[in-house]
């Protein structure tokens, strides 16, 4: 039975329970006892994908907000003419570009066969936090319309939230990054 989620409707999530399943040696990935390490290593590549998704969601939210801001008129002119709103749009665009550069740099390391775990964690952390900020700002720019399902901004905001959670929460990303910077914790 699929989970009922607030977002990611196009990606069904369900529990799978396996008990007493036997896997032949020929079907095993890696050596016995290495499954957890193999699964963890797959997270690094997944984090790059999540970072790219987050920037895509953020870009869609910016595009929606910009389109609305240039069409919506207040006091005889488009709301995009107001400095406060222009600054919001500029910050949104800057954060998106920074995130895009960060995940592409991490992907280049991966493509070159170089270590990229720290950069993947940084990209996932930055890009998903950016997506949350940008989508929240997009909802704000659209005002009451941003909160309704008639406009996609509210959906982008819901999608951004889950991206901060999957492939390791952003708190876990901070632990991964710190471990790469300062080494493992000592006690």
Q: Encode 1-23: b = buried (16+ Cβ within 10 Å), e = exposed.
A: eeeeeebeeeeeeeeeeeeeeee
Per-residue pLDDT of the chain (187 residues; tens, 9 = 90+): 888 888 888 888 999 998 999 888 888 888 888 888 888 888 999 999 999 999 999 999 999 999 999 999 999 999 999 999 999 999 999 999 999 999 999 999 999 999 999 999 999 999 999 999 999 999 999 999 999 999 999 999 999 999 999 999 999 999 999 999 998 887 7
Per-domain residue ranges of the chain: 44-182
pLDDT number for residue 112: 97
* Non-local CB neighbours of 3 within 8 Å, separated by 6+ positions: 12, 13, 14, 15
Question: Which active-site residues does the annotation give?
Answer: 167
Q: Is 22 helix (H, G, I), strand (E, B) or coil?
A: coil
> CA 107: distance to chain centroid?
15
pTM above 0.85, yes or no: yes
pLDDT number for residue 66: 98
Other beta carbons within 10 angstroms of residue 26's beta carbon come to 5
> CA 147: distance to chain centroid?
21
pLDDT number for residue 187: 74
Burial class of residue 44 in the structure, from the number of CB atoms within 10 Å of its CB (0-12 exposed, 13-18 middle, 19+ buried) = buried
Region 44-182: CATH code: 1.20.140.10
Tell me the residue ranges of DSSP E strands in the chain. Answer: 73-74, 77-78
pLDDT number for residue 103: 97
pLDDT number for residue 155: 95
């Amino acid at each position: 039975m699929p989970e009922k989620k607030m977002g990611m409707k196009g990606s069904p999530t369900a529990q799978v329970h396996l008990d007493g399943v036997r896997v032949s040696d020929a079907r095993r990935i890696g050596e016995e006892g290495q499954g957890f390490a193999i699964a963890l290593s797959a997270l690094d590549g997944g984090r790059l994908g999540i970072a790219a998704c987050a920037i895509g969601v953020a870009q869609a939210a910016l595009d929606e907000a910009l389109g609305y801001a240039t069409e919506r008129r207040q006091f005889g002119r488009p709301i995009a003419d107001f400095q406060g709103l222009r600054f919001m749009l500029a910050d949104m665009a800057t954060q998106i570009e920074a995130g895009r550069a960060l995940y592409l740099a991490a992907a280049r390391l991966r493509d070159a066969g170089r270590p990229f775990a720290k950069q993947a964690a940084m990209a996932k952390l930055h890009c998903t936090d950016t997506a949350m900020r940008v989508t929240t700002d997009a909802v704000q720019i659209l005002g009451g319309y941003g909160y309704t399902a008639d406009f996609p901004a509210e959906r982008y905001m819901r999608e951004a939230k889950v991206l901060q959670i999957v492939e390791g929460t952003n708190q876990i990303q901070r632990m991964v990054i710190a471990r790469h910077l300062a080494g493992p914790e000592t006690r």
